[in-house]
Amino acid sequence: MIEFNYPDSEIVEQFLCKYKNPKSRVRYETTIADFIRMLKFKKIAEIQKDELIYHFDMVKDNAARVCHTKEFLKFLISNELLSKEIVYDGKFVEQVYSFKATQKDPGRTAIQYSINKIIQMDRDIKTNYKNIPKGNRWDYERSIKIAFFWELIFDAGFSVGDIKSLKARHLTDKKEYIKSGRKNVIAETYYTEGMNLTKRIIRDYYDRLLLDLGNKKSKDGFSSLLSLVHYNNDELEIYGLLAQDIIAARNKFYIQCPNCGKRTKTTSTNWLFVKHKDSYEKYLVCNLCKGTDNID
Ligand SMILES: [Zn+2]
């Protein structure tokens, strides 16, 4: 609760009541209290553009703070509570929505999230974009890109390099892909016979995401997917997800079968214990090879 006598407390309360989880609510309260204090308790409708830029510059080292401040500003912009000069300046609004925290160390080692967190993150990432109205272009594009990138790495196991070298137009037109003479493992898998996971992922996202990228002929690659610092999740305390974190998550979920060597998801239906007649102990093997000698 913002305890001081601030003329726009009601607006702040309107925003905060979205957050039912007490932990998230406290985080937002703290951020907004600081925001208002730094703007010297100015009325929301009187805040100037340069003050917002200055504010982001002051907090840019703190990814959580940048994320929370941005959510608050999005609320103020979409409800037209900031001044008209701000709300109707599309370019400025875009600038506000694109503020990023300084990425302290893009080469940092992967964060090892717990299985519980990975399960929740997986569900969150795959459903987020479906719940965002398409009119909210910035949030929609951002969250659908993250979902696509997540599925390609976490579910399909492709590398960042594979994704970077993929071109949208190569997925639209097989002839053009062959003509280009370039090899890309994602496109190769996509064009193989029969159904596979890659095909499913591409088809799920194609219309919504790839077509849009493909229209920008000059830069229809996927390097823009790599700026994942945009994925934040308050409940799970995840700020600034990086590709290496997703790879680490995948490595926890997909382990190599000690018998056939295939990587398989660690769910109960995919694994079993087998006992050899000469051994008292049971051994873990995947459901595909069932511990037999016929492995290809
Ligand atoms: Zn196996």
- pLDDT, tens digit, for every residue of 239-266? 878 889 999 999 999 999 999 999 999 9
Q: Judge contact between 55 and 37, C-beta under 8 A.
A: no
Same domain (yes/no): 81, 126: no
Q: Using the mean position of ligand 1's atoms as its centre, give its distance from the Cα of residue 156 in Å.
A: 18
Res 137 pLDDT > 80: no
Q: Using the mean position of ligand 1's atoms as its centre, give its distance from the Cα of residue 250 in Å.
A: 18
- Confidence (pTM): 0.73
Q: Using the mean position of ligand 1's atoms as its centre, give its distance from the Cα of residue 248 in Å.
A: 21
Q: Which residues pair with 263 in a beta bridge?
A: 256
**CA distances (Å), 245 to each of 65, 241, 280, in order?**
21, 7, 39
Q: Judge contact between 264 and 257, C-beta under 8 A.
A: yes
Q: Using the mean position of ligand 1's atoms as its centre, give its distance from the Cα of residue 262 in Å.
A: 6
Q: Using the mean position of ligand 1's atoms as its centre, give its distance from the Cα of residue 265 in Å.
A: 11
- Which pLDDT score, from 0 to 100, does residue 84 have? 93
- The residue ranking higher by pLDDT, 202 or 132, is 202
Q: How confident is the model at residue 276 (pLDDT cuts 50, 70, 90)?
A: confident
Instruction: Look up tokens 């000690």; give the residue.
Output: 258
Same domain (yes/no): 21, 56: yes
Q: Using the mean position of ligand 1's atoms as its centre, give its distance from the Cα of residue 154 in Å.
A: 20
- Which pLDDT score, from 0 to 100, does residue 7 have? 83
- Which pLDDT score, from 0 to 100, does residue 6 have? 79
How much is the mean pLDDT over the chain? 85
Same domain (yes/no): 119, 247: yes
Same domain (yes/no): 121, 242: yes
Helices marked H in the chain: 9-16, 22-38, 49-59, 63-78, 84-87, 90-97, 115-128, 137-150, 160-164, 168-172, 174-180, 185-190, 197-205, 211-215, 243-253
Q: Using the mean position of ligand 1's atoms as its centre, give its distance from the Cα of residue 157 in Å.
A: 17
Task: Work out how many domains the chain is built from and give that number.
Answer: 3
Instruction: Tell me which residue range forms the domain holding 164.
Output: 115-251
Same domain (yes/no): 38, 140: no
Which helix (DSSP H) or strand (DSSP E) does residue 132 occupy? none
Q: Using the mean position of ligand 1's atoms as its centre, give its distance from the Cα of residue 128 in Å.
A: 34
Question: What is the pLDDT averaged over residues 144-148?
Answer: 87
Res 207 pLDDT > 80: no
Question: What is the pLDDT averaged over residues 110-135?
Answer: 90
Instruction: Look up tokens 């970077």; give the residue.
Output: 164
Does a structural domain hold residue 104?
A: no
Res 95 pLDDT > 70: yes
Instruction: Please tell me the distance from the alpha carbon of residue 21 to that of residue 237, in angstroms, as a whole number.
Output: 13
Same domain (yes/no): 79, 207: no
Q: Using the mean position of ligand 1's atoms as its centre, give its distance from the Cα of residue 267 in Å.
A: 14
Same domain (yes/no): 132, 240: yes
Helix (H, G, I), strand (E, B) or coil at 75: helix
Summarised one tens digit per residue, pLDDT across range 277-296 is 888 999 999 999 999 987 66
Same domain (yes/no): 232, 274: no
Helices marked H in 115-237: 115-128, 137-150, 160-164, 168-172, 174-180, 185-190, 197-205, 211-215
Res 36 pLDDT > 70: yes
Same domain (yes/no): 244, 119: yes
- Which pLDDT score, from 0 to 100, does residue 293 have? 87
